[in-house]
Amino acid sequence: MNTIEKAGGRPEAGNPGKAADTGDRVNAHSAVMTFGADEPLALDSGVSLSPFTIAYETYGTLNADKSNVVLICHALTLDQYAASTHPLTGKPGWWPFMVGPGLPIDTDRFFVICQNVVGGCMGTTGPKDNDPKTGKPYGLNFPVITIGDMVRAQAMLLDKLGIGDLFCVIGGSMGGMQVLQWAAAYPDRVFSAIPIATAARHSAQNIAFHEVGRQAIMADPEWKQGGYLSNGTTPGKGLAVARMAAHITYLSETALHRKFGRNLQDRDSVTYGFDADFQIESYLRHQGSTFVDRFDANSYLYLTRAMDYFDLAADYGGVLANAFRGTTSRFCVVSFTSDWLFPTSDNRQIVHALNAVAANVSFVEIRTDKGHDAFLLDEPEMFATLRGFIDSAARTRGLVA
């Protein structure tokens, strides 16, 4: 075991000024924890991952009886920097409306942990790290991981930190899958659970979009069968196309129409060519190219695969309700009317399963035109809902403000 703590959440790169501001306000700490040969991560595939490291951020202060822990589970292309500056982009945390003093996840009251998932590329062990067997980056030799593996690794970190149960586990999209997995695999460790804009199993259409992204990456000759890091190449074009395709699915048609419509980009008329005549083209190209600067192509393959494999009911005899039988956790399920990636029907299936076992569950469908990404945006109704649910749970738990 080897723990390195860096106080103040100051990043190694990016915008130190902003980072310090954010870090001080939420009492941010960056840390990494390494698990040695005697503490392997047992993966669903049957493979053991060892050694491995988890990089994580914490915000706020752990209370004396360790009863105020909130675990934030991040989405596919996000990371542990929920409320601290991203070290590569210099941008502020990705959940600015949700995490901070006085916000729904109140860093003045809660001790918040956000871990980079296994298979990720922001410090936790993933395909870009060295395989101890070869001394070279894993690439495709990295074992395929699942949502269950991500959660098992998170639990190991909490064990190491001496944290038993979680006051709350919360996340959207792939983060919501982890929330469901937590509630199913560790029911006694979850006081409250907030899965947002997610599903208990990935749909055929979503697998299809992921497969397009993976094929775009694998079609890039610079990908080199996953060995690009050893070859000194970067499959940036393929990864950018994957990101562009995925990004469309994160927004709604209405939002795209409102934001861009058929507006032209810095020109009065079309150019009769293949430049980015339309603002939407320019926007998508920008999304693609900036993603390449902060994300690892193989990580994208592994994390999309983990989502595709997620089918919680399959682990419980094909009946989703069985995953939650006997649970005493309280749940708040949130969906968005314009989310077509994880539509309300997917979220409602979770609610039905919870109802079937008489679980304590609230369900809110937020009316918004912002699509799947609404969970990352300024959605006052979502904040009010989550604030009410979290405050109520905190009172029940005896966590007074």
Peptide bond into 96 cis (omega under 30): no
Interface with a copy of itself, residue 34, by CB under 8 A: no
Sorted by sequence, the CB contacts under 8 Å of residue 133 that are 6+ apart come out as 141
Which residues in 41-60 contact a copy of itself (CB under 8 A)? 44-45, 47
Collapsed DSSP state (helix, strand, coil) of residue 297:
helix
CB 61 within 8 A of CB 111: yes
Q: Which is nearer to a copy of itself, 70 or 121 (CB)?
A: 121
Q: Is 126 in the site for a copy of itself (CB under 8 A)?
A: no
DSSP-derived secondary structure for 28-51: -EEEEEEE-TTS-EE-TTS-EE-S
Q: Is 348 annotated as a binding residue?
A: no
257 binds a copy of itself (CB under 8 A): yes
| Candidates 49-57, 186-194, 232-240, 385-393; binding stretch for a copy of itself (CB under 8 A) | 232-240
Q: What tokens appear for 157 in the block?
A: 């970190």
- The catalytically annotated residue of 30, 67, 84, 173 is 173
How many residues at the interface with a copy of itself, by CB under 8 A?
56
State yes or no: 373 annotated in a binding site. Answer: yes
238 contacts a copy of itself (rule: CB under 8 A): yes
Window 304 to 333, contacts with a copy of itself (CB under 8 A) = 305, 308-309, 311
Task: Decide if residue 37 touches a copy of itself (CB under 8 A).
Answer: no
- Residue 336: φ, ψ to 5°: -125, 135
Q: Which of 285, 348, 352, 387 binds a copy of itself (CB under 8 A)?
A: 285
- Clarify whether 252 is annotated catalytic: no
Map residue 328 onto helix, strand or coil.
coil
Stretch that binds a copy of itself, among 3-11, 103-111, 179-187, 204-212 (CB under 8 A): 204-212
Counting contacts by CB under 8 A, is residue 369 touching a copy of itself?
no
CA dist., res. 297 & res. 303, Å (int): 10
Q: Is 339 a catalytic residue?
A: yes
With CA atoms as reference, report the closest residue to 150 among 239, 251, 78, 66. 78
Q: Minimum Å distance from CB 257 to a copy of itself? A: 5
Question: By C-beta, is 28 or 241 nearer to a copy of itself?
Answer: 241
State which amino acid sits at residue 87.
Answer: P
Q: Is the dihedral of CA 165, 85, 282, 242 positive or negative?
A: negative
Query: What angle is formed at CA 323 by the lines to CA 319 and CA 329, rounded to 5 degrees?
Result: 140
Cα(344)–Cα(335) distance, rounded to whole angstroms? Answer: 5
Q: Smallest distance from the beta carbon of 375 to a copy of itself, in angstroms?
A: 20
Pair 325, 312: CB distance under 8 Å: no
N-to-C CA span, the chain: 35
Interacting residue with a copy of itself among 17, 132, 221, 317 (CB under 8 A): 221
Among 209, 316, 363, 383, binds a copy of itself (CB under 8 A): 209
Q: Which is nearer to a copy of itself, 262 or 395 (CB)?
A: 262
User: Nearest to residue 157, comparing CAs of 265, 80, 260, 91?
Assistant: 80
Structure tokens at 142: 């990295």
Residues 332-351 that bind a copy of itself (CB under 8 A): 340, 343
CB 334 within 8 A of CB 197: yes
Nearer of residues 183 and 301 to a copy of itself, judged by Cβ:
301
Task: Give exposure, 309-323, as e/b (b: 16+ Cβ within 10 Å).
Answer: bbbbbebbeeebbbb
Q: Judged by CB, which is closer to a copy of itself: 27, or 252?
A: 252
Burial annotation 155-165 (CB, 10 A radius, 16+ → b, else e): bbbbeebebeb
From the list 159-167, 186-194, 250-258, 386-394, the region that binds a copy of itself by CB under 8 A is: 250-258
Cβ atoms of residues 375 and 339 within 8 Å: no
The region of 63-71, 108-116, 173-181, 258-266 touching a copy of itself under the rule CB under 8 A is 258-266
Residues found near a copy of itself in the complex (CB under 8 A): 44-45, 47, 140, 143-144, 201-205, 207-209, 211-212, 214-216, 218-221, 237-238, 240-241, 244-245, 248, 253, 256-257, 259-262, 270, 272-274, 276-278, 280-281, 284-285, 288, 301, 305, 308-309, 311, 340, 343
Instruction: Give catalytic residues, as residue numbers.
Output: 173, 339, 372
> Which residues does the annotation place in the binding site?
243, 373
> Which residues does the annotation place in the binding site for substrate?
243, 373
